[in-house]
Amino acid sequence: MSSSSKVKTGNTKTKAAPSDSALVTLDGVSKAYGEAWMSDEVLKDISIEFPAGELTVIVGPSGCGKSTLVNIMAGFETPDTGSVSVDGKPIQGPAKDRMVVFQETALIPWQTTLENVTFGPKMRGEKKGASLKKEAEDLLIKVGLGEFMNKYPIQLSGGMQRRAELARALINEPNVMIMDEPFRGLDAMSRSLMQEFFLQLFDENRKTNIFVTSEIDEAIFLADNLVILSNKPTRVQKVIKIDLPRPRNYKMLTSAKAFEYKREAMELLHDEAMKSFAVAK
Amino acid sequence: MSTSKSALSNIFGQLTFWRGVRAIVFFLIFWQIGSLLDDWTGYDLFGIGLVPPPTDVFTAFLEVIPKHGYWMSWVASFSRVLTGFLVAMLIGIPFGLMLAVNRYFRGVFFPPFEILRPIPPLAWVPASLIFWPTNEMSIAFVTFLGAFFTIVINVLGGARNIDISYLRAAQSMGASQFHLFWKIVLPGTLPSIFTGAAVGMGITWEVVLAAEMISGGGTQGGGGLGFFIWNSYMGGSLEQIVVGMISIGIAGYLSSSAIRKLGFVLMPWRRLF
């Protein structure tokens, strides 16, 4: 597949996306670090469409620049060429319409769980007082942290921290959620519980979700669309439409169809991983 | 559940407390024996034969306690330490934060700062005695220097080590520069500010004592604890020298406990470590 060709991931039979979710478009995004004579090309001409209200998972070999891609979509970094737009409008730096859930927890250590959740709206002066507190409390109860509102992040377990972070993102009513390997570092049990919980949230609000991971099973379990990246300099290798019914459950991962997706994804990723392995040697 | 937890920590607290008491008592007994052994047998145990035994020091302590001059020495040293320390905090914290957040400010002020930093505070004594109109001001200035460099370096390091994802998370939630500074950078630097304060406080005591010895101080305890020791040395009272030394130990301990307590109050999220 030519790397410069535009990759369509959209559903052909588009289900009506809710009005509060948005189409995200990456158009020819490239990024290199360092001076020209020794520059390290990380992203090379990446074009992806993330359809509104769908869950698109980006999977790629480790060290391929997934986090750079996240930083560019979030607006923390600017691409050398190309652009990122939301509903056709190019982005201008970070904004609350695109919330990021970070790899390691980014809950602010000196704020309690409740303060973390109310931080954004309070700072922007949009909501305040009792109604904001009530909204935050309801959200925290929903993510199962009702008992932990006044605890500091360090007092929460890894899984609780990720749920608190989901609540902190959701209260800002983003159109797009960008998840950068959010369940990395959790033990297998918490991880699968978090995946199920996350899908439940997604089914409820149907925001445009961009989910980055390096786990193939996780990717197939969650995705509407699976974007497979190559090694550095990173290109889009293939986009696979994951046609498994929703709501999902773990039994679907053992279906013949899921195995077929997994085989295809693994073949593509394995070749790329081998390349970086050889380079490393 | 919470009661059993606090009872447990109470017992634990008491255990560590009594362990500390036992350690001090053991130390005093060892000192007493070493000192008396020299008097009785002439055998100098680990060189502490020359040191007056704790009982003599205790008697000397009882003698100075009612004296006005001794307490004035405390007041003089403490007020010098506090003046130098507080001014160092007031200037050092904003200065360190500016170095951390503003590239141009850092470019201009960091190089001269780094050249001045390695100069020991005591090397400033002669110059400041000449430069400042009174002895008192030169002592205050040198004490200030002792704490200033340590505080600035800690604040700078702390502010620049704040996890970038906190800043990014705040930014994506719409934080302005104002919010980033007051809600993320400042609280994120607090632990380093307190580390700097604790270390700076220790240096301030070192410096003030030496400065008091050098400048000679005034009369009637106006010279501070440093001068108290020096005066005892001139008067040949070994017991009083030790009394002065222990007084400084207590003073330093009180100062650093105060800083720890304040840190405990201001950083509730750090109590949980």
For chain A, how many structural domains are there in total? Answer: 2
Positions of E strands within A165-264: 176-180, 208-213, 225-229, 236-241
B101 and A CB contact within 8 Å: no
How far apart CA A114 and CA A137 sit, in angstroms, is 7
- Alpha-carbon distance of A21 to A41, in angstroms, equals 32
Q: Are A160 and A85 within one domain?
A: no
Q: What residues of A are in contact with residue B263 (Cβ under 8 Å)?
A: none
> A169 CA to chain B: closest CA distance, Å?
8
pLDDT (mean) for A81-88: 90
Distance, in Å, from the CA atom of A272 to the CA atom of A168, rounded to the nearest integer, reads 36
In this prediction the ipTM stands at 0.81
- Interface contact flag, B272 A154, Cβ < 8 Å: yes
Average pLDDT over residues A93-121: 90
- Counting residues of chain A whose pLDDT is more than 90, the rounded percentage is 36
What is the maximum alpha-carbon separation in chain A? Answer: 59
Q: Is the pLDDT of residue B209 over 80?
A: yes
From chain A, pick out residues whose CB is under 8 angstroms from the CB of B184. 108
pTM of the shown model: 0.79
Mutate to test the interface with B, among A76, A110, A127, A157 (most CBs of B within 10 A): A110
Per-residue pLDDT, A6: 46
The mean pLDDT of chain A is 85
**3-class state of residue A244 by DSSP:** coil
- Flag whether pLDDT at B266 surpasses 60: yes
CB atoms < 10 A from the CB of B267, how many? 16
**Terminal-to-terminal C-alpha distance of chain B:** 20
CA distance A124 to A115: 14
Contact B168 A106 (CB under 8 A): yes
| pLDDT for residue B160 | 92
> Among the residues of chain B, which ranges form H helices?
2-41, 54-64, 68-101, 103-116, 125-131, 135-160, 164-172, 177-179, 186-215, 224-235, 238-266
Q: Are residues A72 and A198 in the same domain?
A: yes
More confident call, B20 vs B11: B20
Q: Are A93 and A75 in contact (CB under 8 A)?
A: yes
Name the CA dihedral angle for A236, A93, A223, A185, rounded to a multiple of 10 degrees.
100
Task: Tell me: do A181 and A81 sit in the same domain.
Answer: yes
> Is there a single domain that holds both residue A245 and residue A200?
yes
Average pLDDT over residues B73-93: 92
Residue written as token pair 């060709």: A5
Alpha carbons A91 and B37: distance in angstroms, whole number: 83
Query: What SS3 state is found at A254?
Result: helix
| pLDDT surpassing 90 at residue A112 | yes
Domain boundary among A124, A145, A173: A173
Same domain membership, residue A72 and residue A15: yes
Whether the per-residue pLDDT at B218 is higher than 70: the answer is no
Smallest Cα distance from B187 to chain A, Å = 7
Q: Which residue has the tokens 């700078």?
A: B156
**Do the bridges between strand A40-50 and strand A81-86 make them parallel or antiparallel, or are there none, so unpaired?**
unpaired
Tell me whether residues A154 and B173 touch, CB distance under 8 A.
Answer: no
- Is the pLDDT at B236 greater than 60? The verdict is yes
Q: Is residue A157 part of a domain?
A: yes
The secondary structure of residue A125, as a DSSP letter, is T
Using DSSP bridges, classify how beta strands A24-33 and A176-180 pair: parallel, antiparallel or unpaired. Answer: unpaired
| Comparison of pLDDT for A140 and B213, the residue scoring more | A140
The helix (H) or strand (E) run that includes residue A169 is helix A158-170
A186 with A273, same domain: the answer is: yes
On whether both A138 and A80 belong to a single domain, the answer is: no
Neighbours of B233 (CB within 10 A): 14
How confident is the model at residue B45, as a pLDDT? 67
Q: Which residue's structure tokens are 């109050």? A: B265
Measured between beta carbons, the chain B residues lying within 8 angstroms of A98 are 172
Same domain? For A118 and A240 the reply is: no
pLDDT average, residue stretch A203-220 = 90
Quote the pLDDT of residue A13.
39
Tell me if B171 and A124 make a contact (CB, 8 A cut-off): no
pLDDT score of B6: 59
Model confidence at A156: pLDDT above 80: yes
Q: What is the pLDDT of residue B156?
A: 95
Q: How far is B189 from chain A (nearest CA, A)?
A: 11
Of A14 and A214, more confident = A214
B183 and chain A in contact, CB less than 8 A? yes
Residues A269 and A153 in one domain: no
Question: Are the beta carbons of B173 and A123 separated by less than 8 Å?
Answer: yes
Q: Is B170 on the interface with A (CB under 8 A)?
A: yes
Distances from the Cα of B11 to the Cαs of A247, B21, B25, B260, in angstroms? 53, 15, 21, 22
Is B190 touching A (CB cutoff 8 A)? yes
Same domain for A93 and A2: yes
CATH of the domain at A37: 3.40.50.300
Cβ–Cβ of A110/B188 closer than 8 Å?
yes
> Is there a contact between A94 and B171 if contact means CB atoms under 8 Å apart?
yes
Mean pLDDT (chain B, rounded) = 86
Count of Cβ atoms closer than 10 Å to residue A50 Cβ: 27
A102 part of a folded domain: no
Domain holding A131, by residue range, is 110-173
The residue ranking higher by pLDDT, B51 or B7, is: B51
Contact A75 B172 (CB under 8 A): yes
Residue A118 CB coordination number (10 Å):
22
Q: How far apart are CA A153 and CA A194, in angstroms?
A: 17
Distances (CA, A) of B195 to A62, A210, B146, B189, B198: 38, 41, 15, 10, 5
Contacts of A109 in chain B (CB under 8 A): 166, 269
Q: Is residue A86 part of a domain?
A: yes
Give B273's contacts in chain A (Cβ within 8 Å): 154
Find the mean pLDDT for residues B77-89: 92
Query: Do residues A77 and A188 both lie within one domain?
Result: yes
Residue A10 lies in a domain: yes
Is residue A105 assigned to a domain?
A: no
The answer to the question of residue A103 being in a domain is no
Q: Count chain A–chain B contacts defined by CB atoms under 8 A.
A: 67
Of A150, A173, A196, the last residue of a domain is A173
Same domain, yes or no: A179 and A281: yes
Residue B125, pLDDT above cutoff 60: yes
Backbone φ and ψ for A237, nearest 5 degrees, come out as: -80, -50
- In sequence order, what are the beta bridge partners of A86? A24, A89
What backbone torsions phi and psi does residue B249 show, to the nearest 5 degrees? -55, -45
Looking at A173, A194, A221, which one is the last position of a domain?
A173
Instruction: Give CA–CA dist B136/A23, Å, rounded.
Output: 70
